[in-house]
Amino acid sequence: MAPCLPSDKLTTDTLIIGAGPSGLFTALLLLRYGISDVTIIDKYPIRTLTGHASGLQPRTLEILHTLGLKSQFDINAGGVADTAFWAPKDQDSGISRASAAPEVTNPTIYKRLIIQHQGRTEEVLNAELEKLGHHVKRPFEFLDYEYTEDKDHPVCAYVKDIARGQVQQYHCRYLIGADGANSVTRAASKIESTTHETSDSWLVADCAIKTDFPDIRRRCAIRTPAGNLMLIPSPRNTIRIYMLITNKQDLQDLAASKLDDLPAPLFKETQGRTRTTPLEILLKRLPPILKPYTIQITHIDWISKYVVGQKVIKSFTDNRNVLFVGDACHSHSPKAAQGMNTGIQDAYNLAWKLALILKGRANPSLLETYNSERCHIANQLIDFDTKFAKLFGDQSALNSGDFEKTWKEAQGFTSGLAQEYPAGPLVVPLPAGAASECPCPLIPGQRLAPMSLIRHIDRYHLTSLDTMASLGHFNEVVFAGDISREPRKSEFRRLYEFLTSPGSVLTKYNGLPPEGQDGWLPDDIFSSPPLPLSSGENGKVMNLYVVHTASRFDVELRPDFELWKWNFFEDEGGREHRMHGVETDGPIRVAIVRPDGIVGMVRDGDGGLGREVHRYFGGFMK
């Protein structure tokens, strides 16, 4: 290792290795949450331009919405709202549609996937970083790390400035490995992965086509004796083709090819070539699979090969100050559009916890929940993908309903809308028998489903994704029923007075509004600043939201509810109460919603609420 000059010994709160979607999203969230000392490096001289991960699932779209970014991913995007399953009709006549079904079945305002190549995702996230005064340092290669005696910055990472040929030392409080499936950071940590049995070879291409195949704007799973395809409708009237390669000669040719992950124009005829290129394999195998339909590829934007084995890291941290996100933690087949989404949701789980710790507001032990929660999801993902991949490639049961059944059963998980974290310090299970039969039950460990509401103070029609912007704040959501009538009017007033009293968690952790303000400003995506007003030891970390069924003209917010006047919402007709399993004439229900939109605890607003809420936050907050 080249020696480090004194000028090349640097410090940073957080060093992120890898500027793919997971690394970029982690950096952006930390900046949004008030952590300004963030460094992100990548070994490549430029960002991804095209290809790679492409599908954004509904839960990811909800997250992007809370950041005010979702609309940027709509530009020139493709989409998937339907999935069709195709199989042989008989031995001679080729394939026919066996069935079709909606892609998204869980309650959400986003009923389709957005298809946008990874280059666009990275473009948007890089632009957001630059707005906040940060950029990716390129090309910088991570080499190794070690722990030192420095209590403030205990991790020393060795990084090579490739352009200068000089090794730098970064002394950091936390090191985050976001450097992909072949993570050098993970290798340096010596944390092993659990490997599952399957290892499939795939061709993947983004292309323009001419075809008479009728379902070209649906996602299609096509399984035939001639081969298996997954077709994804993509931007600008193009498609993505995933082709499972099983032919022995094709596999040998793929293994010998050095043209992995390069733009298609590089696949040219060369004198003396004896092996078939990936493009030629695609062109040869595609027509027999789609018979009786015809297809002609008119242009290739990108083509690549993948050899995918299902793996999950045994721990998402080294139990000290090194953490991992994205493909550095889990790898699997590309068919179900899970990789980038899971990586983004790794970052969404991690960033708010790390931000609270870096601000001195939470105990470092909070990071143990990152490992337990995201390992839980990653293992479920690998279990699903192993089963899904095996069924997809099973040539002995092409007309079996098992493949479609497995896909349907997993829709809540793959969309991200019904994933559930296990019980732990941040997820307090409901009392026995308390779960409700309703479309969007308030279940600790699951996300708070979006609500359509009317803001009391100005009659703005908003969703909870609009009003609960991602700024690293907890949200205490009160489903209050009709607060204009007795006895609910008095019950709510007593609860509100308690929740805003000097002894409440809101006052304990927030303090008082800044001088000159008579109440807390809204946290909606339209009016919130890019960074919290305070990133230091003090400053708001919690919000109170009141969802009621009274007419806004029957309840005056001033002077009694001045402190949180921006966060009172009318649930017209009580629809959201019913959708979330709260009876409008039953007990007041209070949900603690974490900064990542996950319900942490649900309790009735009775005399024991304060004690339980204090116990909840006392387990990890300072």
Phi, psi for residue 241 in degrees, rounded to 5: -115, 125
Name residue 239's beta-bridge partners. 207, 233
Tell me the pairing of strands 155-161 and 140-147.
antiparallel
Tell me the pairing of strands 219-224 and 82-90.
parallel
b vs e for 347-382, b when ≥16 Cβ sit within 10 Å of the residue's Cβ?
Answer: bbbbbbbbbbbbbebbeeebbbbbbbbbbbbbeebb
Q: In 3D, which of 287, 276, 384, 366 has the Cα closest to residue 330?
A: 384
Q: Are 193 and 314 in contact (CB under 8 A)?
A: yes
pTM score of the predicted model? 0.93
3-state SS, residue 416: coil
Q: How far is residue 116's CA from residue 290's CA, in Å, rounded to a whole number?
A: 25
Q: How far is residue 119's CA from residue 126's CA, in Å, rounded to a whole number?
A: 10
The pLDDT mean for the chain works out to 90
Query: Which pLDDT value is given to residue 504?
Result: 95
Name residue 176's beta-bridge partners. 16, 323
Tokens read off for 192? 């092993």
Q: What is the pLDDT of residues 183-234, one digit of tens each?
A: 999 999 999 988 765 667 889 999 999 999 999 999 999 999 999 999 999 9
Which of the residues in the chain have pLDDT under 70?
1-8, 196-199, 258-276, 335-337, 397, 528-538
What the chain holds in terms of domains, given with CATH numbers, is 6-72+117-195+312-414 (3.50.50.60), 196-308 (3.30.9.10), 452-618 (3.40.30.20)
For residue 565, how many C-alpha atoms fall within 13 Å in the half-sphere facing its CB? 15
Query: Which pLDDT value is given to residue 149?
Result: 96
Which DSSP string do the residues of 126-167 spell out, in sequence order?
HHHHHHTT---BTTEEEEEEEE-S-SSS-EEEEEEETTTTEE
Query: Which pLDDT value is given to residue 537?
Result: 43
Q: How far is residue 381's CA from residue 310's CA, in Å, rounded to a whole number?
A: 9
| Burial environment of residue 614 by CB neighbours within 10 A (0 to 12, 13 to 18, 19 or more) | middle
Query: Which pLDDT value is given to residue 528?
Result: 60
Which DSSP string do the residues of 371-410 spell out, in sequence order?
HHHHHHHHHHHHHHHHHHHHHHT-TT-TT-SHHHHHHHHT
Q: What is the pLDDT of residues 559-602, one digit of tens each?
A: 999 999 999 999 999 999 999 999 999 999 999 999 999 999 99
Amino acid (1-letter code) at residue 308 = V
